[in-house]
Amino acid sequence: MSDRLLPRLPLRIEMLFLLLGVAAGCSTSAAEPAASPPPVVIVSRPIVRDVADYVDFTGRTQAQFSVDIRARVTGYLMQMPFVEGAEVKTGALLFEIDPRPFQAQVDKAKADGAATVAQMKAIPPHDPLFSNAAIRPDGRKIHDMFLYQVKTPAESRSAWDYCQVRRTIPAAEAFRPIAEGGCKMPA
């Protein structure tokens, strides 16, 4: 074959396939679709009536403001002078608890405290740093006070010998008297 015929050969093959495709698509023996039954349509007559403009839902509601009341102590209730569900004003009495068990504890603590204080006052305090220590009736420990003077390096005789006692102030003079204290004495 010559060089001039080669480029035309693929063109001729393409034309042949195109004609075959057109001939196949133009056939008149097409299959008809199967006949389907007519659709079922439900028809009803309209009803004239009022329509409710709400929907029922299940749920819970709660108050906008609520308070949980818990007692800080346990005991028997003597009275509850409020009506449940009513508004309560600030400072209003809600519950009254039987005070007898609490008063018994207070009385016992006072008796134990008084006995402890009496026992402490009977024992003279021993203080190696201060001499003549005692406990006054108001419960304050009093003791002698010392006025010190710092020694010069020439006066010091040992490693910790820095001060010298110049005067001893008795406990009765060193502390303010009970009468001038301004504190109420326990009964």
Q: Give domain status of residue 159, yes or no.
A: yes
What are 3-53's pLDDT values in tens digits? 555 555 677 777 777 777 766 666 566 567 788 888 999 999 888 988 888
Q: Give domain status of residue 183, yes or no.
A: yes
What are 58-82's pLDDT values in tens digits? 888 888 887 787 778 888 889 988 8
Question: What is the domain extent for residue 100?
Answer: 76-82+92-123
Q: Please tell me whether residues 108 and 149 are part of one structural domain.
A: no
User: What stretch of H or E contains 13?
Assistant: helix 8-25
Q: Which of 168, 176, 125, 128 is nearest to 144 (CA)?
A: 168
Q: Give domain status of residue 142, yes or no.
A: yes
Number of domains in the chain: 2
Q: Which residues contact 136 (CB under 8 A, 6 or more apart)?
A: 142, 178
Task: Give yes or no for a contact between 151 and 164, defined as CB atoms under 8 angstroms apart.
Answer: yes
Task: Give yes or no for a contact between 97 and 73, defined as CB atoms under 8 angstroms apart.
Answer: yes
Range list of β-strands (E), 3-137: 77-79, 96-97, 134-135
Q: Is the pTM above the cut of 0.85? A: no
The mean pLDDT value of the chain amounts to: 81
Q: Please tell me whether residues 155 and 140 are part of one structural domain.
A: yes
Backbone angle region of 182, left / alpha / beta, with phi > 0 → left and psi within -120 to 50 → alpha: left
Within 137-176, residue ranges assigned H as helices are 171-174
Residue 22 has a pLDDT of 67
Q: Please tell me whether residues 159 and 179 are part of one structural domain.
A: yes
Q: Give domain status of residue 71, yes or no.
A: no
Q: Please tell me whether residues 134 and 119 are part of one structural domain.
A: no
Q: Give domain status of residue 100, yes or no.
A: yes
Q: Please tell me whether residues 174 and 142 are part of one structural domain.
A: yes
Percent with pLDDT over 90 in the chain: 12
Task: Give yes or no for a contact between 96 and 77, defined as CB atoms under 8 angstroms apart.
Answer: yes
